[in-house]
Amino acid sequence: MIDFHCHVDLYPKARAVHAEALRRNVFTWLVTTSPKAFQATSSVLGHHESMLISPGLHPEIAGDRFQELDILIELIDGANAVGEIGLDGSKRYASSYLKQKQVFATAVKRCHDLGGRALSIHSRQAVPDVLTLLREFPDHGIPVFHWFTGTVSELKAAAAQGCWFSIGPAAFNSSAGKALAKKLPKEKVVPESDGPFAQLDDQPVMPWDFEITASLLSKAWAMPLIDVQYQLISNAKVLLDQMGCTTTASLI
């Protein structure tokens, strides 16, 4: 099993979920919502080859945690991936949008200055601004749009910029999500859970729910399930190779 975007530390009984993810998954990308959360999670859960824990500053809390930006920049130096970062242009977070842009721009620039990092990116109602900032700092690394909800034209623009896309079961809960899933570039898609925030049948999606994602993509892409599974695993291997992760040998 593989999961390219999960908040393992935020599940109820997080230690048990962490242990089960280590048992079941070949690779799990644990994204954090703030630099201090990254520090605490890393301290509590420790280092494991199959669990990548990355420092982030989620745009939904960027206004409240803006003072942690300096910590984030320091942490990026010692990380090979960053997330969750990005922009949220929805009305609910409009008051913090300028701070969000400062956080995201500063983080992307730091990645650019360091020669690139893998980025797990939140882009709700903000895809054009995200893409603009990524273009401004072209050596930022590997952008992975998590749970993409933009327009079809924005999807094409992101794909044209070489972006990856992580998708999980909850993305199929809406008709718009199903329609977008059909148009994702198949060779640039990897599975995610976004648990425990993402829900399926009123239950949090789990880090090992790869088969559910593959099944839903099989319907969206009108491809046999086994072919979709192979495509996702093959994509994961390519992306992990690019990220410099060492777990790829056991994927295929």
Known binding-site positions for a divalent metal cation: 5, 7, 84, 122, 146, 194
Q: Where are the beta strands (DSSP E) in the chain?
A: 2-6, 27-31, 51-54, 81-86, 117-122, 141-146, 164-167, 189-191, 199-200, 203-204
CA nearest neighbour of 163 among 84, 239, 76, 107: 239
199-200 and 141-146 strand pairing = unpaired
Residue stretches of the annotated binding site: 5, 7, 84, 122, 146, 194
Show the tokens assigned to 6: 């999960």
What b-and-e string marks burial along 37-76, b requiring 16 or more CB atoms within 10 Å of the CB?
Answer: bbeebbeebeeeebbbbbbbbbbbbbeebeebbebbbebb
Show the tokens assigned to 195: 């648990």
DSSP state of 140: S
Residues in the chain: 252
Rounded distance between C-alpha atoms, residue 196 and residue 188, angstroms: 24
The values of phi and psi at residue 9, to 5°, are -70, -15
